[in-house]
């Protein structure tokens, strides 16, 4: 009977897939580990793979079951370390591995000044593509540049990884760009700090500052609400609703702090929400005259001088609402029909009351 052709081909593909691992030979692994000891670089998984790639010119993996007896393989729970491969017997002249993240800075300020000057002379557009990622790759790149200040110190690669870390922080001579070591002004950290600084300087944070900026823009005329925000951005000013405790831009400009500067109103011809200066005269919309009050529902306007006149067509419980009073004040400033202003406020959800039929039924 035999094995069906389909299953036979699948088994063959599986065997080929399993056999595609490109493992380094035990001799190459031992050579890489001894080189890392000489450079005082800790032989974790990433550094071992990088050193093997440098030796062989292509990426390989390490097979733990095929290591020479002089090497000790240790698995690690740390996802960054993964594993370490150490010599069973350390060389007699071994001075120990360099801690690349140590905060101890053995270099004087004069060195960092020279290092920054010499880093600025490098053509990084050319070097950046050939560099490996990470701190180890940055140390290899700095070593290949043969800068005079680095050559004079005669540092091992492990000491260079520590120098790269110090140059990144706190000296900010170097930084990371997409995982590669570059001058700090080319790094992602510098770009983010510049964006944050620019946003902080240009963002309006107080109503006083917003009032001055809005008044300068509205001197040219009234604008749509969305257009006003864009015009402020053109002048280098950013308005964030959340900074003023609002969820909508309209709420910012209708805040009591802005009442003496600007007013929002609905343009009669196309119902567009507009923003204009508070003291600018505007012609009332003729075709939005108040409709006659329904028979038997005329309640009269409140007589208190501090309140805005309420149309006769509004029920009393609507007239007492603070939200209704605010809508009526805006209508008065914009020469808008009061009934229409209240209706629009209800439609936007700013006035939460029972429907008109229930309000009339209670009167």
SS3 180: strand
Beta strands 223-224; 262-266: pairing state? unpaired
The CB density around residue 207, as the number of other CB atoms within 10 Å, is 16
pLDDT score for 131: 64
Is pLDDT larger for residue 26 or for residue 1? Answer: 26
> Are the beta carbons of 98 and 154 closer than 8 angstroms?
no
Instruction: Summarize the confidence of residues 25-48 as an average pLDDT.
Output: 93
- pLDDT reading at 107 higher than 60: yes
pLDDT band at 361 (very low <50, low <70, confident <90, very high): very low
pTM of the model: 0.51
Question: Which of 331, 327, 334 lies closest to 348, judged by CA?
Answer: 327
pLDDT, tens digit, for every residue of 207-243? Answer: 888 888 888 888 888 888 878 888 888 887 878 777 7
Instruction: Tell me the mean pLDDT in the region 98-124.
Output: 91
* Residue predicted with more confidence, 47 or 288: 47
The per-residue pLDDT for range 59-85, each reduced to its tens digit, is 899 999 889 999 999 998 877 788 999
Question: 123 pLDDT exceeds 90?
Answer: no
Estimate to the nearest angstrom the gap between the alpha carbon of 242 and the chain centroid.
Answer: 16
Task: Kindly list the distances between the CA atom of residue 190 and the CA atoms of 49, 116, 126, in Å, as whole numbers in the listed order.
Answer: 30, 15, 20
pLDDT of res. 335: 59
More confident residue, 223 or 292: 223
pLDDT of residue 182 exceeding 80, the answer is: yes
Beta-carbon contacts of 103 under 8 Å, excluding residues fewer than 6 positions away, are none
- The predicted pLDDT at position 328 comes to 67
Q: Tell me: pLDDT of 7 over 60.
A: no
Chain position carrying tokens 């691992």: 21
> What does residue 274 show for φ and ψ, rounded to 5 degrees?
-120, 160
């Amino acid at each position: 009977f035999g094995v069906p052709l389909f299953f036979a081909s699948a088994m063959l593909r599986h065997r080929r897939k399993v056999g595609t691992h490109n493992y380094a030979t035990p001799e190459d692994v031992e050579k890489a580990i001894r080189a890392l000891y000489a450079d005082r670089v800790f032989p974790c998984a990433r550094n071992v793979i990088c050193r093997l790639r440098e030796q062989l010119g292509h990426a390989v993996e390490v097979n733990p079951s095929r290591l020479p007896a002089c090497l000790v393989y240790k698995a690690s729970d740390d996802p960054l370390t993964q594993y370490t491969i150490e010599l069973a017997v350390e060389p007699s002249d071994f001075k120990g591995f360099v801690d690349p993240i140590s905060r101890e800075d053995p270099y004087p300020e004069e060195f960092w000044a020279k290092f920054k000057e010499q880093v600025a002379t490098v053509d990084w557009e050319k070097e950046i593509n050939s560099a490996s990622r990470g701190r180890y790759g940055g140390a290899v790149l700095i070593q290949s540049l043969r800068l005079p200040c680095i050559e004079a110190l005669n540092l091992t690669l492990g000491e260079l990884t520590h120098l790269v870390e110090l140059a990144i922080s706190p000296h900010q001579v170097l930084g990371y760009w997409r995982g590669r070591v570059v001058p700090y002004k080319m790094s992602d950290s510098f770009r983010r700090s510049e964006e944050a600084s620019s946003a902080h300087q240009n963002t309006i944070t107080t109503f006083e500052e917003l009032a001055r900026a809005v008044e300068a823009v509205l001197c040219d005329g009234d604008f749509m609400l969305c257009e006003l925000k864009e015009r402020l951005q053109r002048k280098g000013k950013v308005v964030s609703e959340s900074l003023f405790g609002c969820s909508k831009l309209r709420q910012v400009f209708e805040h009591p702090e802005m009442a003496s500067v600007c007013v929002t109103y609905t343009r009669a011809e196309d119902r567009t929400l507009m923003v204009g200066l508070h003291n600018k005269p505007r012609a009332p919309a003729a075709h939005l005259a108040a409709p006659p009050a329904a028979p038997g529902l005329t309640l009269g306007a409140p007589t208190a001088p501090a309140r805005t006149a309420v149309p006769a067509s509004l029920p009393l419980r609507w007239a007492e609402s603070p939200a209704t009073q605010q809508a009526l004040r805006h209508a008065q400033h914009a020469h808008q029909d009061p009934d229409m202003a209240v209706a629009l406020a209800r439609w936007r959800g700013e006035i939460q009351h029972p429907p008109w039929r229930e309000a009339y039924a209670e009167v």
